Amino acid sequence: MSQFIIGIDLGTTNSALAYTAAITAEVEHPEVKIFPVPQLANPGEISDLELLPSSLYIPGPNEFVEGALALPWNDKPPYITGLLARKRGVENAGRLVSSAKSWLSNQNANATQPLLPPAAPEGVQKVSPLEASTQYLLHLRAAWDRAHSDARLEDQRVLITVPASFDAAARELTQRAAKQAGYPEVTVIEEPQAAFYAWIERNRNWREQVKSGDLILVVDIGGGTTDFTLIAVTEHDGELQLERVAVGEHLLLGGDNMDLAVARFAEQQFAQKGTKLDAIQFHSLWQQCRAAKELLLSGDASAPKDQPLTILGRGTGLVGGTVRSKITGKEIRNLLIEGFFPTVAPDAAPQRQRRAALMEVGLNYATDPAVTKHLAQFLRQAAANAGTEGFARPTHLLLNGGVLQADAIEHRIFEVLNQWLEQSGAPPLIELQNETKQLDLMHAVAHGAAYYGFARTGKGVRIRGGVPRSYYVGIETSLPAVPGLPAPMKALTVVPFGLEEGSKVELPQRKFALVVGEPAEFRFFSSLSRKNDAAGSLIEEIGDDFEELSPIEVFLPPHTDGTREEIVPVTLESNVTETGMLELWCVSADDRRWKLEFNVRERAAAA
C-alpha cells in the first residue's frame, strides 16, 4: 500500500513534483505539497528548487572539474539535468537538449531515435526525446528516494500529466519513459484537467461556485504548448458531476514563444544602435524582457511606462561595454496582446499549416500565433460536435500557465470571450480564481495531478471524460487496382469518442486474417472532431477530419509445438486501462490474444 500519491508535471520547459499522503480517512481535501528538487544550480553546488527545468546537457569529457557534476545519489552522472543544464546550454547550445516533450508528439520524427540536440556537433552522442524524458523522470525519482528512503517512489501511486491534445502514441511514449526510469505503472492525466483539479483542491466550496448546466473553459498556456478543454457540469442523483466534453488540437505555441518574440524585438533595437548580441547576452536580454513584461503588463495603475534593458559588456570591461535600451509597455502590449491575443470575431480561423513538399524534420510549430483564433476554432468545433450551431458558450473560465502572470493577457482573453458571448446574447464569463495565483500558475498542474490521484481512491470528485478522440484502423477496399493510385482506404472505428477508463469494446463483425510468423501492420487514424462514430462503424472516406498516426503492428510468433497453423482469423478489441492507456488487441476464435503495438519507427514514413 502506497504511503504517498505523487503528481508529476513533466513540462516542456519545467517539471515539478507534488505529493500528498495516501490517507484512508474520509477526507475530500488532502494537503498537497510541492517537493523541492535538489539539482545542480552551478558546478559543485546543489540547490533545492521547486521546479526542475526540463533541460538536459550532455557534458563533454573535459568540460567540468572532476566531481563538479556529482549528485547526492550519483557521483558521475552521464548527463546534467535541471538548472545547470539550462545555464550551461546558453553558453554551448550544441550539447543542450530542450523541448524533448514536443518531440514525443511529433508526427514527422521518431521519438525513440537519437535526434537531440538537433544541431549537435559531430562526435556528441545524441539522445532520443524518449531518453531525455526518461532522464528527467529518473532525476525526480532519485531525488524523491533520497528524501524518502522508507517510501520509495516505485512503491507509491504516481500520476504524470500530458497535454490533453497528446495522441495515444505520445501518451504511450510518456508511460514508456516512466517505465524506463523505474517507475511503477503510472496513470496519465490531462494537464487542463489537472489545473482544474488544483482549483477544486484550493476551493473547498467549489460546489457553490458552479451549478448543473455550466460549461467551464480551461485555457492552459504552458511553456511550449497551449491546451483548451471544456468541462461540463451535470447533476446525477443530486450530486454535481463533471464531464470533460472537448479538448483542442495539439498547439505548439506557448509562453516561451511569447517571451522570445519580445526578446527578438528588443534585440532589433540593440542592432539599430550597432550592437550585435551574442548568445549569452541574448539570453540575459530574454530574462530581462520576461521580467519587464510581467511588470509592464501587470495592469497595476502604478506600473511604470517603460523598463530599461541593460546588456553588460562581455569582457572584463563591464561598465565600458554596457549598452542600454528600453522597452515600453505599449511595445510589449503590441507584440504580445495584439500579436498573440488579437481581438477577433468568433468565426475567425487560424491560418492553415503551410504544407511544403520537403519539410525539414523539426517541430511543427503552430503557424498562426493568434491564440484567440485557435480558441474560436476550438469553440466552434466543440459546438459542431455537440450538434449545435455557432460556437460553444462557456459560463466559466479557468486560466493556467506562467505567462498569465502578466495580467493584461488574462484581461484580453476575458475581453475577447465576453465580446463573443455578448454578441450571441449569452451572459459574461465568471472567472474561477486560484487564491495564491503566483504559485499556482507554475505548480497547479503537478498539484492537481496529486489531488486527482487522491480523488481516484473515491473520496474526491472525479472528472469523467474518457478518450478525447476517436480512433480508426484503415481497411483497404477490395476494388480493382488502378496503376499509380493506392487502393482506396476506409476507416473502421475501433475506439469511439469518450470511451471511459476501465471499459472495452469488441468488434466481432470484422475478421482479419493474420499470417503466423510475419508482422502485420495496420494504418491507424484518429479524429478530434468525429464524435458520433459508433464502435465498428465503417467510414467510407478518410477526409480532412482524420489525422494519420503511427501505424500499429502485431506479430504472431511461429509455433514451436509443430502445429502447422499458418493463418489465424482474428477480431479486434479495444480497451482503455484504469491508468488511461489505450490498448488494441487481436483475439482469435479460441480466445488467444495478441496486443497491437504502436510502431513509432514508422511514424516518419507514414506522415
Where do contacts with other proteins occur on this chain (CB under 8 A)? 42-47, 65-68, 70, 278, 308, 310, 312-313, 316-320, 322, 324
| CA 527 to the chain's CA centroid | 18
Rounded Cα gap, residues 47 and 82, in angstroms: 10
Q: Note the helical H segments in 511-595.
A: none
* Cβ partners under 8 Å of residue 94, min gap 6: 117, 119, 120, 121, 124
Judged by beta carbon, residue 301 or residue 319, the one nearer other proteins is: 319
Beta strands, E only, 156-208: 157-162, 187-190
**How many CB atoms are closer than 10 A to CB 476?**
12
| CA 41 to the chain's CA centroid | 26
Residue 336, classed as helix, strand or coil, is helix
CB of 306 to other proteins, least distance (A): 14
Cα–Cα separations (whole angstroms), residue 228 to 169, 345, 384, 461, 505? 20, 18, 16, 21, 28
Burial annotation 161-175 (CB, 10 A radius, 16+ → b, else e): bbbbbbbbbbbbbbb
Q: Taken in order 178, 184, 188, 192, is the CA torsion positive or negative? A: negative
Q: Taken in order 101, 104, 107, 112, is the CA torsion positive or negative? A: positive
Judged by beta carbon, residue 268 or residue 322, the one nearer other proteins is: 322
Rounded Cα gap, residues 192 and 210, in angstroms: 17
CB of 37 to other proteins, least distance (A): 16
CB of 311 to other proteins, least distance (A): 9
Judged by beta carbon, residue 49 or residue 151, the one nearer other proteins is: 49
| φ and ψ of 570, to 5 deg | -130, 160
Judged by beta carbon, residue 92 or residue 112, the one nearer other proteins is: 92
- Which three cell numbers mark 468? 478525447
Judged by beta carbon, residue 158 or residue 309, the one nearer other proteins is: 309
DSSP character for 155? G
Please say whether the beta carbons of 607 and 107 come within 8 A: yes
Judged by beta carbon, residue 49 or residue 261, the one nearer other proteins is: 49
CB of 314 to other proteins, least distance (A): 8
Judged by beta carbon, residue 31 or residue 48, the one nearer other proteins is: 48
Burial annotation 445-468 (CB, 10 A radius, 16+ → b, else e): bbbbbbbbbbbbeebbbbbebbbb
CB of 83 to other proteins, least distance (A): 12
Judged by beta carbon, residue 322 or residue 532, the one nearer other proteins is: 322
Cell numbers 565600458 correspond to 320
Rounded Cα gap, residues 34 and 13, in angstroms: 17
